[in-house]
Chain A
Amino acid sequence: MSVRADLSVRATDFVLGDVLTDGSDTRIRLERVVPLGDAVIPYLRVSGSDLDDVVAALRDDPDVTDVTVLDELDGEALVRLEWASGASDLLEGLAESDATLVGAVGDGDSWSLRLRFPDRERLSEFYHLCVEHGIGLTVESVFRTDGEGWGHLQLTDAQQETLRIGLERGYFDVPREITLVELADEFGISDTAASQRLRRGVSKIVETCMAEPGERSPAARSP
Chain B
Amino acid sequence: MASNGDRVLDLSETQRDLLRSAVTEGYFEVPRRITLVELARTCGMSDREASAQLRHGLGALVSDAVVDA
A interface residues, Cβ below 8 angstroms from B: 4, 6, 29, 102-105, 112, 114, 140, 145, 149-153, 163-164, 166-167, 172-174, 176, 196, 199-203, 205-207, 209-210, 212
Task: Select A103's contact among B9, B16, B59, beta carbons within 8 Å.
Answer: B9
How many residues of chain B are within 8 Å of chain A by beta carbon?
A: 26
Task: Select B28's contact among A6, A145, A199, beta carbons within 8 Å.
Answer: A199
B interface residues, Cβ below 8 angstroms from A: 5-6, 8-10, 16, 19-20, 22-23, 28-30, 52, 55-56, 58-59, 61-66, 68-69
- For A103, list chain B residues within 8 Å (CB): 5-6, 9
Task: Select A207's contact among B6, B16, B28, B30, beta carbons within 8 Å.
Answer: B28
Task: Select A199's contact among B23, B30, B52, beta carbons within 8 Å.
Answer: B30
Verify A206–B55 contact, CB threshold 8 A.
Answer: no
- For A151, list chain B residues within 8 Å (CB): 69
Across the two chains, which residue of chain B brings its CB closest to A116?
Answer: B68
Across the two chains, which residue of chain B brings its CB closest to A163?
Answer: B62
Q: Given A103-B5, A163-B66, does the pair A173, B59 have CB atoms closer than 8 Å?
A: yes
Verify B10–A105 contact, CB threshold 8 A.
Answer: yes
Q: Given A103-B6, A210-B20, does the pair A172, B69 have CB atoms closer than 8 Å?
A: no
Other than A172-B62, A206-B58, A207-B28, give 15 A-B pairs with Cβ distance below 8 A.
A104-B9, A105-B10, A149-B69, A163-B66, A172-B56, A174-B56, A196-B30, A200-B30, A202-B28, A205-B61, A205-B65, A206-B28, A209-B8, A209-B61, A209-B65
Task: Select B65's contact among A150, A166, A200, A212, beta carbons within 8 Å.
Answer: A150
26 contacts between A and B (CB under 8 A): A6-B8, A6-B9, A102-B68, A104-B9, A105-B6, A105-B9, A105-B10, A112-B9, A114-B9, A149-B69, A150-B66, A166-B62, A167-B59, A172-B58, A172-B63, A174-B55, A174-B56, A201-B62, A203-B23, A203-B28, A203-B29, A205-B61, A206-B23, A206-B28, A209-B8, A209-B61
Minimum CB–CB distance for A73 against chain B, Å: 16
A167-B66 Cα distance, complex, nearest whole Å? 9
A121-B64 Cα distance, complex, nearest whole Å? 24
Minimum CB–CB distance for B48 against chain A, Å: 10
A112-B63 Cα distance, complex, nearest whole Å? 18
